[in-house]
Amino acid sequence: MEEAVAGRATRGRPRSERARSAVLEAAAELLVSGGIDAVTMEAIAARAQVSKATLYKWWPSRAHVMLESLFSRTRHTTEIDESAPLEEALVSQLSLVTREFRETETGPLMADLVAAGQADPDIRAALDEQWLRPRRQITTRLLRAAVERGELDPGIDLAAAVDQLFAPVYYRLLLGHEPLHDDLAATLTGQLLNGLRTGLRTGAAAPKG
Amino acid sequence: MEEAVAGRATRGRPRSERARSAVLEAAAELLVSGGIDAVTMEAIAARAQVSKATLYKWWPSRAHVMLESLFSRTRHTTEIDESAPLEEALVSQLSLVTREFRETETGPLMADLVAAGQADPDIRAALDEQWLRPRRQITTRLLRAAVERGELDPGIDLAAAVDQLFAPVYYRLLLGHEPLHDDLAATLTGQLLNGLRTGLRTGAAAPKG
Amino acid sequence: MEEAVAGRATRGRPRSERARSAVLEAAAELLVSGGIDAVTMEAIAARAQVSKATLYKWWPSRAHVMLESLFSRTRHTTEIDESAPLEEALVSQLSLVTREFRETETGPLMADLVAAGQADPDIRAALDEQWLRPRRQITTRLLRAAVERGELDPGIDLAAAVDQLFAPVYYRLLLGHEPLHDDLAATLTGQLLNGLRTGLRTGAAAPKG
Amino acid sequence: MEEAVAGRATRGRPRSERARSAVLEAAAELLVSGGIDAVTMEAIAARAQVSKATLYKWWPSRAHVMLESLFSRTRHTTEIDESAPLEEALVSQLSLVTREFRETETGPLMADLVAAGQADPDIRAALDEQWLRPRRQITTRLLRAAVERGELDPGIDLAAAVDQLFAPVYYRLLLGHEPLHDDLAATLTGQLLNGLRTGLRTGAAAPKG
DNA sequence: TCTTAAACGAGACGGTACGTCTAGTCTTCTA
DNA sequence: TAGAAGACTAGACGTACCGTCTCGTTTAAGA
């Protein structure tokens, strides 16, 4: 009798999972093979064997397709050990992002999404909420805990500090004036924690060999 | 006789200065009034009363128009006093950029150009060579001099340090998660020079009150 | 085995009469209110609260819906008195059609169906068989009987004669260069029976005063 | 001084005659090879190697393309000898149209244009003004002259008479219930001039043998 | 003064992608 | 098993810009 339970839902034909995943794959493939300009709604539809009507029904713009494509394949870069020593935890977090940007298509995807965000506030908001903010929050939590433990100066500007760790990674991704090399995570962390001045070093972090 | 003199040449009608400046102005106005998507070659031509042929003759793409528009109105942000004390010089340089991004149309212009650079290597190269590199070089020179004077640790990674100063500004410009407020320049400089750790401070730079 | 009975069959749910009549009404209303272009399968389905699948199950195209809509509301224009004198019978038949075209939605419906018939042979065939042919046959019968009674010249081309009576009505309906006024039936009949030449008149039909 | 004469003219690149004629040809070819439904703006553009923008710039709809296609290839069917005897002139005029409809693509073109005219008043008006009216006027002139010469009854309805000559041709073209055979012109003319009644014939026109 | 040649405005051109629309088909649940 | 709901593929629609191409005009340097 009950019946009522939960899952009632859908009248009519349910959304096609085939279409959804084909679209996300097509978008990623097009991006990798032809750059951002190759990722047109037209091309996605053709490659995914999906009609444009379906495309526009579920995604309002190509940037939204790319956003979902990005999120659907990278959720794991927030998984770090927050109980590790501060410097180690920070380096670990930065390393994950740096390596992913350098070694997978997440790098170009992210760069193009930041670019798309300049013309579309929705993109910008989605990027912030679903990607940047979660990562910044972890870092902020790590730093705040260290302040409370007495490791860090209580007068520091947390938001600015977080940016001094992360911003260079995105900056290089977008401008390309310097590579995202392996030591970057440790260098950024060490220089920020210890400062650049002579004689301030604790010995914990001598960047770059 | 021959005339051989220098490079002077120009037979025919000389390039119209009216057209050039009308184009640059039109581009800036369109950007401000309608966002990057309003800056089409078509619209620039119409607004500047210039034919599209002329437009394409002198600028290969709309991004190049915007680039020149950017450069034609901001050359002065490199003019700082390099003989000032290190921290003062750095704060001064960062402040100039921060304020310009926040208070003039240079901010959106720059954001859109970085975005355009993702799809067009020419833009990226031009941005780097004509805007970013000159500024980075000044900062690198300041830091290197400080190292040589013994103020800064000789082991630091100069490129990374420069990015830790500048990148947060561009990062915030592009993502908008935090404002480009007035203290930012001092905060970034202080935190990087002195580090975040407790008890390392020389007293020279207590950011943020 | 059971069941076997006679030709009745109907397993399952019987066809919905509600759906059928709602569709025909919706089609007619749409035609009147918005012209032929408003009569889309989509719109019919929406207005009749009928699913598109049902629509396509019973009618292969929108023209077929309109055809059935036409036939379902006008069967009576063939009902004339064939025993009346020739000229009177012909005028009566033409008048019925002329008036119906002018005063009801049958006019635009017919015009649009003839138009649809240009692209769809099924429509053309259905129109001919279910509307035009029955009416032409009556007229042909009237004329042939008159020939046999000696009233009409035995050398006449019956098909052409019938067209000289009916075609002008459809021609004006479709092209609209002249109205379908009240005298038209008598004029067409009189001019054709008596000819245009001077001195041939029997006096029976002086069209238009 | 002189010079001033008449028309300034074209600024800018002049309209391409190649494009214009390619479009008109493509439309006609598509119609013949695939029927009216094959004549899409898309297909015309593709076949004529013309961009859709150009197409829409000069023709507001595909029906207008077809209209111009029709007019561009058939101007000559109005050229008859108006000084010939009445019946001869009428037969000649009807024959020209009948044969053209039967033997060239003008037939289907006209049929489709009449169809298109049901949904688009512009088409209908253009058809009337540029095709039908000029032909009707010639016929009306012929008949009126005959009335004035005393050959035809002064009481006849000229508009109706003209329709009794022409309408059957279009009626058959659109409905296809009877062919547009060679004798049609003479039959229609003879039957209308002389009437169908027995004993009225002058002997001048015994249609069909 | 006259010639010459480059730069100019206007604007038409072939293309490509856009976002919307309708046509028909297919899939699931309900009556 | 008919029907309602509604998601699906296919493809034409009309628009906007793109970057290129004539045109006829304007402007200065050179003959």
pLDDT at B142: 96
pTM, full prediction: 0.80
3-state secondary structure of C197: strand
Query: Which of the other chains make 3 or more beta carbon contacts under 8 angstroms with chain B?
Result: A
Yes or no: say if A78 and A131 are a contact pair by the CB < 8 Å rule.
no
Contact C94, C166 (CB under 8 A): yes
Q: What is the dihedral of CA A162, A164, A167, A172, to 10 degrees?
A: -150
Among D72, D90, D117, the domain-final residue is D72
From the list A118, A156, A197, the residue facing B202 with the nearest CB is A197
Answer yes or no: do C47 and C128 share one domain: no
Distance of alpha carbon D122 from alpha carbon C68, whole angstroms: 29
pLDDT lower than 70: segments of chain A:
1-9, 75-77, 199-209
Could you tell me if C179 and C84 lie in one domain? yes
Instruction: Please report, as a single letter, which amino acid is at residue C11.
Output: R
Kindly determine whether residue C168 and residue D170, on different chains, have CB atoms separated by under 8 Å.
no
Q: Which residue has the higher pLDDT, A77 or D61?
A: D61
Chain E positions with an atom below 7 A of a protein C-beta are: 4-31
| Beta-bridge partner residues of B197 | A152
- C-alpha B174/C-alpha B189 separation (Å) is 20
Question: What pLDDT is attached to residue C71?
Answer: 80
Which residues in chain C have Cβ-Cβ distances shorter than 8 Å to D202? 197, 200
Note whether D48 and D79 are same-domain residues. Answer: no
Higher pLDDT, C163 or D117: C163
Residues 6+ apart with CB under 8 A from B85: none
Mean of pLDDT values over C62-83? 79
Using the CA of C40, give the nucleotide whose C1' is nearest: E22
Look at A160 and B124 and tell me if their CB atoms are within 8 Å. no
Domain boundary among B72, B90, B111: B72
Does the pLDDT of residue D69 top 80, yes or no?
Answer: yes
**Could you count the other beta carbons within 10 Å of the beta carbon of residue B121?**
10
Among B136, B200, B208, select the one facing A200 at the smallest CB separation: B200
Lookup: nucleotide whose C1' is closest to B54 CA: E8
E strand or H helix at D168:
helix D158-175
The residue assigned the tokens 């512009």 is: D122
Q: In terms of CA atoms, which chain B residue is nearest residue A118?
A: B112
Measured CA D2 to C1' F20 distance, in angstroms: 37
D33: CATH: 1.10.10.60
Last residue of a domain, one of D72, D99, D117: D72
What is the C-alpha to C-alpha distance for residues D145 and D191, in angstroms, rounded to an integer?
20
Please tell me the distance from the alpha carbon of residue C41 to that of residue D101, in angstroms, as a whole number.
Answer: 33
**Residue B3 has what DSSP assignment?**
-
Residue C175's H or E segment, with its range, is: helix C158-175
Q: Quick check: is B3 in a domain?
A: no
Same domain, yes or no: A137 and A150 = yes
On whether both C59 and C151 belong to a single domain, the answer is: no
- CA C24, chain centre distance (Å): 17
DSSP string, B60-100: SSHHHHHHHHHHHH--GGG---TTS-HHHHHHHHHHHHHHH
Contact check, Cβ <8 Å, B196/A197 = no
Å between CA of D19 and C1' of F20 = 16
Candidates D65, D75, D73; CA nearest to D20 is D65
Residues of D in contact with C134 (CB under 8 A): none
Query: What pLDDT, on a 0 to 100 scale, did the predictor assign at position A32?
Result: 86
| Of C35, C181, C177, C26, the residue nearest C108 (C-alpha) | C35
Q: What is the CATH number of the domain that holds A99?
A: 1.10.357.10
State whether A160 and B184 contact (CB < 8 Å). Answer: yes
Same domain assignment for residues A122 and A60: no
Q: Write out the two tokens for A131.
A: 């990607």
* Cβ contact A207–B167 (<8 Å): no
- Average pLDDT over every residue of D90-94: 96
Look at residue C77 in the predicted model and tell me its pLDDT: 63
- Nearest chain B CA: its distance from A25 CA (Å): 21
pLDDT single digits (tens) C86-141: 999 999 999 999 999 999 888 988 998 898 888 888 788 888 988 999 999 999 99
* CA pair distance D190, D203, nearest whole angstrom: 10
Return the higher-pLDDT residue of D149 and C78. Answer: D149
Chain A window 121-140: which residues touch B at a Cβ cutoff of 8 Å? 124, 127-128, 132-133, 136
- Residues C171, D167: C-beta atoms closer than 8 Å: yes
Query: In the structure encoding, which two tokens stand for residue C76, read together?
Result: 């009576």
Interface contact B191-A157, CB threshold 8 A = yes
pLDDT value at residue C12: 61
B43 lies in which domain range? 17-72
Does D142 lie in the same domain as D115? yes
Are B172 and B82 members of one domain? yes
Q: Does C194 touch chain D (CB under 8 A)?
A: yes
Is C200 part of a structural domain of the chain? no
CA distance D118 to chain C (A): 6
Q: Is residue D8 part of a domain?
A: no
- Paired tokens of C38: 């408003």
Using N-to-C axis directions, what is the helix angle for A86-103 and A133-148, rounded to 10°? Answer: 160
What separation in angstroms does the CA of C57 have from each of C19, C52, C65?
12, 8, 12
- C140 close to C158: Cβ distance less than 8 angstroms: yes
Partner C contacted by D155 (CB < 8 A): yes
* Residue among D119, D153, D177 minimizing CB distance to C198: D153
Residues B156 and B116 in one domain: yes
**Same domain for D84 and D64:** no
Q: Is residue C149's pLDDT more than 80?
A: yes
Question: A127 and A35, same structural domain?
Answer: no
Inside any domain, residue A167: yes
pLDDT in tens, A197-209: 986 554 444 444 3
Q: CA A31 → C1' E15, Å?
A: 22
Q: Which residues contact residue A64 at a Cβ distance below 8 angstroms, ignoring those fewer than 6 apart?
A: A122, A123, A126
Number of structural domains in chain A: 2
Q: Please state the three-class secondary structure of chain C as a single string.
A: CCCCCCCCCCCCCCCCHHHHHHHHHHHHHHHHHHCHHHCCHHHHHHHHCCCHHHHHHHCCCHHHHHHHHHHHHCCHHHCCCCCCCHHHHHHHHHHHHHHHHHHCCHHHHHHHHHHHHHHCHHHHHHHHHHHHHHHHHHHHHHHHHHHHCCCECCCCCHHHHHHHHHHHHHHHHHHCCCCCCCCHHHHHHHHHHHCCECCCCCCCCCCCC
Cα(D61)–Cα(D55) distance, rounded to whole angstroms?
A: 9
Confirm whether D64 is domain-assigned: yes
pLDDT at B158: 97
- On whether both D96 and D183 belong to a single domain, the answer is yes
D207 assigned to some structural domain: no
- Residue of A167, A158, A165 lying closest to B114 (CA atoms): A167
* Minimum-distance nucleotide, CA of A16 to C1': F7
Residue B128 has pLDDT above 50, yes or no: yes
**Band of residue B207 on the pLDDT scale cut at 50, 70, 90:** very low
* Chain centroid offset of residue A34 CA: 22
Q: Is residue C128 part of a domain?
A: yes
User: Which residue from B35, B151, B187 is facing A160, i.e. has the nearest CB?
Assistant: B187
In this structure, are residues B157 and A187 in contact, taking their beta carbons and an 8 Å threshold?
A: yes
**What values do phi and psi take at B17, rounded to 5?**
-70, -30
Spell out which residues of chain C touch residue D37, defining contact as CB-CB under 8 Å.
119
Over chain B, what is the mean pLDDT? Answer: 87
C-alpha to C-alpha distance for C120 and C113, rounded to whole angstroms: 10
DSSP letter string, D11-22: -SSPPPHHHHHH
Q: Which chains touch C (3 or more CB pairs under 8 A)?
A: D
